[in-house]
Homo-oligomer: A and B are copies of this chain.
Amino acid sequence: MPPYPATCRAAVVRTFGAPIVIEEVPIPGEIEPGAILARIEMCSICGTDVHLWQGSLSTKVELPVILGHEMVGRIVAMGSGTARDSVGQPLRAGDRITWTHTSCGSCFFCTVAQEPTLCANARRYMYERMDRPPYLLGGFAEYGYVLPDAGRIRVPDDLPNELASLSSCALRSVMNAFDALGAISPAETVVIQGAGPLGLLATAVAKVSGARRVVTIGAPDARLAIASVFGADETISIDRTSPEERVDAVRVLTAGRGADIVMEFTGHPAAFNEGLDLIRRGGRYVVVGQLGAGTTTFRPALIVSKQLRILGSLSGRAKAYWKALDFLSAHRKAVPFERMISTRYSLGDVNIAMERMKRYEEIKPVIALDAPMEAP
């Protein structure tokens, strides 16, 4: 008999937009080679969770699914061949890990392009039906099943669950974006578009990476205040400025040239146009937040006349997860990352949490599953 219960509770979406249901879901009795079963301790909530729940993602999703994809868990059972994590650190039952969407290792994108996030055969947590094995592929659940082809990274012991869960979608996406960007020269000004979780974390990474000046654009003021604490030299509220005023403000800071680097984390198509105006000739624009079906109208000649480099960055591979955890561990004394964690919910309060997320009343809330549980 396996050392874990036969079922566990999970937050299931059965109808788009309808209340999320807490259900008992089977736990696989056997863990296949390469797979791991983890007791989820915490799962932070992401805007994408809201979009999936509301049925507004451009990707087609087949229901029912277990919501949540930014999770940290403690290893309960291990399939064969899982003695090391994706960077070679030893793994044992009881260790905490975060884990990635899968990549097959056997397609053009994994092998030739070496971009596992573009894998032709990826399976993604929260996007997989929960009414068939291995059931537990979402983060708002007491247990999670780590697929064999998924990367998994050991969480440093000094890192609280709140920060570890942050790393597993928000910060790994930011780390991937900085990989796409390449070097920041010490003289360069970086503009961050967006003061949501990714924008705030990117503010911290840009500052730690030695940018001459980090300017974070967003709202509301409470978030901009966090941006300042995280390292923004300047913040600009979109509530009190027009796009033209923001472009002017950045020009004033950069001898009239515009930002050397702009990084987009807003999700609003119009931000793309503003980004093109914020950037100097010859500058680099990293686009991360654009994920929806929205369109924008722009003049492609700007790309040529300003000789821009526009770099898309999607999600993040295992490498980005590892770097995210390492970054949190290295800089958590200097940067109060926990200030991003806005509220702590129990699994039973998932609908309250999601409604508040939907109304933009949260920054980065978490579902805490780490309270003691009775044995089955």
Contact = CB atoms under 8 A, between A and B. Distances in A.
Contacts of A281: 109, 113, 115, 118
Q: How many copies, total?
A: 4
Contacts of A208: 186, 210
Interface string A295-321: 111111101111111111110011100
A287 B307 CA distance: 9
A82 to B, nearest CB: 9
28 contacts: A33-B33, A84-B106, A86-B111, A87-B106, A88-B111, A109-B281, A112-B187, A112-B319, A112-B322, A112-B323, A114-B319, A115-B281, A117-B307, A186-B205, A212-B326, A269-B300, A290-B300, A290-B304, A291-B301, A291-B305, A294-B301, A295-B297, A295-B298, A298-B298, A303-B312, A305-B312, A305-B314, A308-B311
Interface stretch (A11-19, A138-146, A177-185): A177-185
Interface string A256-295: 0100000000000100100000000110000111111111
Interface residues on A, range: 35 or more
Contacts of A342: none
Nearest to A107: B88
B304 A288 contact: yes
Contacts of A309: 309-312
Nearest to A176: B307
Contacts of A180: 307
Nearest to A323: B187
A222 interface: no
Contact of A292 (B108, B298, B301, B317): B301
B88 A120 contact: yes
A341 B179 CA distance: 37
Nearest to A320: B112
Contacts of A107: 84, 87-88
A48 interface: no
Interface in A82-135: 84-88, 105-109, 111-115, 117-118, 120
B323 A304 contact: no
A88 B114 contact: no
A58 B330 CA distance: 39
Contacts of A33: 33
Contacts of A186: 175, 178, 205, 208-209, 323, 326-327, 330
A81 to B, nearest CB: 9
A115 B272 CA distance: 24
A286 to B, nearest CB: 10
Contacts of A297: 295-297
Contacts of A317: 111
A255 interface: yes
Contacts of A105: 86, 105
